[in-house]
Amino acid sequence: MIKNNKYSVLGESGIPIWALREDELFSRLGADIVHGLSTTEAAARLESVGPNAISQSEQTPTWVIFLRQFKSPIVVLLVVAAGLSFAFQEWLDGIAILVVIFINAIIGFYMEFQAQRSMDALKKMVSISVKVFRDGSLSEINSEMLVPGDVIYLEAGDMTPADARLYNSAQMQVDEASLTGESVPVQKASAVLPADTPLAEQSNLLFKGTFVTKGNGWAVVAGTGMNTELGKIAHLVGTSEQAATPLEKKLAGLSNRLIKITVGLVIVIFVVGVIGGKPIVEMLETAIALAVAAVPEGLPIVATLALAQGMLKLARHNVIVRKLSAVETLGGTTVICTDKTGTLTQNKMEVEALASPGGIWAKRDDKTGPPAGRLPKTQYERLLQIAVLCNNADIATQKGEFTEIGDPLETGLLKFALRQGADIAGLRLQYPKISEMPFNSETKIMATLHQTPEGNMVFSKGAAEAILESCQFLVTADTYSPMSQEIRANWLAEAEKMASQGLKVIAGAFKPGGQASEQLDENLVFAGLFGLIDPPREEVPDAIRQCREAGIAVVMVTGDHPATAKAIGRQLGITDADDTDAVLGKDMPDYEELDTTDKSRWIATKIFARVSPKQKLDLVKVFQERKDVVGMTGDGVNDAPALKKADIGIAMGQRGTQVAQEVADMVLRDDSFASIVTAIRQGRVIFDNIRKFVIFLLSCNLSELFVIASVSLLFLHFQLKPLQILFINLVTDVLPALALGVTPGSPAIMSHNPRNPNEPIIDRARWRRIIFYSIILSAGTIGAVYFSHFFIHTGDEWLVQRCNNILFFTLIFSQLFHVFNMGSIEAPFWRTEVVRNPYVWYAIAACIFILIGLYLIEPIRTALSVMPMSAADWAVSIGAGLLAMIIIRLGKHLEFFQNKKL
């Protein structure tokens, strides 16, 4: 909550902010629109009012996280088993089961606590910046550093960082749906409103959390943090528990299914045993053992931790995943629709060529000299004026380095003007801006009206075809000539020629006269073309090659000129040298009008140019109709619908608008296409790891079930005890499963086609594989007991206990060695991702250390009914475990060579 009411909405006079005159407003808020606040004053106000942040809902207390570990059906099953143990005076077993429940809760608590810390760390990486005017210049700061009285600049795509009063705006519209529920953007303008104006009609105020959808404007911050309308609402909103992700639901379903199978198996074995003449107490002990063996300890928690850690790992690779469920979908991506500028290219634009009716200049031709010597002076100066004045960016030089604020295209124009010796600040002071028609993706034109010594003047820039269409004249020598269709076609051809060389082409125009009340982009005079180069990113060609190998189609969807898009596409390998087909936005029918031929053409096309945001949305729909999993990049406010519709919405972190980032599933901090490929690879690795440890845990637990059930149904004279099974699960379940969760991934993981995201974690083929693994593990374990019985301990008076011990230790070693079977069969055994995962070796070493402790500590050994083992006994147990691993490995190779799943 704000600490000082000096800057409150009503203030001491009782007049609300929206009803004040501008001079009263600036006085009330202590604002200086000429120089902005000083750094010292801003720091003092920040100390007074606190950071501009909404108080976060209280985190779940640690004790609640701990108690939550006891809510699962798995714990209920174990409690029932403990109760039965106590009922039959098996005190040690009952206490041990309760201890294991407690230990399992501690492990689950630790994992969930770590996952929560990972998510908190991830949130800290996401910050919103805002353009603020301080110390006489415009700069970008973290929005939490804003204070009342700050002067801020907002444009289309920005999130309003605080409650603020407009004092200068151009065609500004704001989406206030999150605050008022109004679905249509609201027009905003600087004006004095009546004091009794309701919230929804306060058209001169901007509210924290709303989005600018059109235009731009300057405003003075009136309220920050909890002293905003959004802050007031935050007081009324209760916390809600986050819904489980689809993966967590699938894992919970697996656990519940396993419990149901176990209950059924317990009933069958109990009935068969009693009918076979076995004592009821003995059969109840077997039932308890079965119940304990069925529990896959920590399955959902390990998965959640793997997802959270995966998100942190992605963050270290410049990918911020905003939604946990997106990690699951990443690995199934089949199509990436990517923008060109800044994603495939470096977004470092430099003017490479100029073309005016009086001449052409190209930077790469050293013989041409500076542009001032190649173009008529008046035409050259007019192009410089357009570059500087029809421009909302800002730039400064310090020790030869540029500090850029604004759109890269506009900063590229300013850098060019600076290099030609232009005085940017002087020009803007000499030609003050009166009004502006902001650029938007529909008109593809920006125009500004300026006051000049010769009267008002309009300066405009935009897409070549849009500007030429709006021009009725072109400049020639010292006069203007009518723009004929032939001349217009010739200039379009010149723009096409420049674009085919990989240049981004924009046109410049102007118009003497003009009024703020007029349409600024009509009856213009054509001044010439700017050709800007935006070099491709060095890492992108390799990333696109990886996509092709992984079965992922890459589609360039850009608003740029088709010739530029095709030139860049060929350089990067999106299209082949002889593949020059591109679909233009003007040739794309509305989605409702598409026929089968249109859809087939879209799906086969790799480059879409001059595409509008609505056409991006239609393209996503067409791919999704074909059951593709679509990743769509976007940076503008109008891209939000396509980002939201895509299976993976990908926003740009550097040049992306806050609206786009808010609806996206992930944000690229470096804007690079290569980061998308890294994210897809990591998404595949994460899901593959989850599948690995699920298969590992289920095959281990099923092998225990099979051993207990087999011994019982065969009426053998030995059986595993519940306490022994609990120990096995603690040793072989938790640590190896955690190690599998951080496996780096198979080197061949990007050589496979994408998986279907709707397929279950464990499909029928994998269930057959799990059953195969379990049968081998259990058969090897029981086989070791038979071998020991007939070849080593024939006639031993401690035969029953020795058989139990061989059963116990063989099952432990079999499951420990079984972790290596989770590696890929596409690499030699010693080079699989599991064998090369150091955490797997650490886990096995820890398990063996625990095993040695069990054997050496007499009380524990007695509690687990373990007696001294001979070297031959250890050899049998370890040898059987290794044999089971080898058989399973061979079985996997048999499956590989026959191209079928076991």
Residue for token pair 């959390």: 209
Instruction: Record the tokens describing residue 493, joined without a space.
Output: 């051809």
Instruction: Record the tokens describing residue 428, joined without a space.
Output: 């803007």
* Rounded-to-integer distance, Cα 651 and Cα 736, Å: 36
Residue type, 550: A
Asked if residues 639 and 660 have their Cβ atoms less than 8 Å apart, the reply is: yes
Q: What are phi and psi of 543, to 5 degrees?
A: -65, -40
Asked if residues 45 and 37 have their Cβ atoms less than 8 Å apart, the reply is: yes
Give CA 800 to chain center in angstroms. 57
Instruction: Record the tokens describing residue 884, joined without a space.
Output: 């089971």
- In three state form, how does the secondary structure of 744-811 look? CCCCCHHHCCCCCCCCCCCCHHHHHHHHHHHHHHHHHHHHHHHHHHHHCCCCCCCHHHHHHHHHHHHH
Question: Strand 394-398 to strand 583-584: parallel, antiparallel, or no bridges (unpaired)?
Answer: unpaired
Looking at 175, 339, 407, 628, which residue is catalytic? 339
* Residue of 377, 381, 387, 383 lying closest to 355 (CA atoms): 383
* Rounded-to-integer distance, Cα 159 and Cα 212, Å: 6
* Rounded-to-integer distance, Cα 251 and Cα 762, Å: 10
Instruction: Record the tokens describing residue 445, joined without a space.
Output: 């034109």
* Rounded-to-integer distance, Cα 633 and Cα 676, Å: 9
Instruction: Record the tokens describing residue 705, joined without a space.
Output: 């079930």
Q: What are phi and psi of 151, to 5 degrees?
A: -100, 120
* Rounded-to-integer distance, Cα 525 and Cα 783, Å: 92
Instruction: Record the tokens describing residue 229, joined without a space.
Output: 């309308």
Asked if residues 232 and 61 have their Cβ atoms less than 8 Å apart, the reply is: no
Question: Strand 129-134 to strand 335-338: parallel, antiparallel, or no bridges (unpaired)?
Answer: unpaired
* Rounded-to-integer distance, Cα 321 and Cα 678, Å: 12
Contacts of 742 (CB under 8 A, 6+ apart): 306, 309, 689, 837, 839
Contacts of 745 (CB under 8 A, 6+ apart): 681, 682, 684, 685, 688, 689, 833
Contacts of 664 (CB under 8 A, 6+ apart): 322, 634, 643, 649, 650, 651, 656
Residue 154 pairs in a beta bridge with 217
* Rounded-to-integer distance, Cα 157 and Cα 174, Å: 10
- In three state form, how does the secondary structure of 102-133 look? HHHHHHHHHHHHHHHHHHHHHHHCCCCEEEEE
Helix (H, G, I), strand (E, B) or coil at 482: strand
Helix (H, G, I), strand (E, B) or coil at 713: helix
End-to-end CA distance of the chain, in Å?
A: 62
H or E element at residue 851: helix 838-856
Instruction: Record the tokens describing residue 887, joined without a space.
Output: 């058989």
Residue for token pair 């590229």: 412
With b for 16 or more beta-carbon neighbours within 10 A and e for fewer, the 390-406 pattern comes to bbbbbbbeeeeeeebbb
Helix (H, G, I), strand (E, B) or coil at 875: helix
Q: Does the annotation count 365 as an active-site position?
A: no
* Rounded-to-integer distance, Cα 158 and Cα 131, Å: 10
* Rounded-to-integer distance, Cα 390 and Cα 574, Å: 34
Asked if residues 705 and 729 have their Cβ atoms less than 8 Å apart, the reply is: no
Positions marked active-site: 339
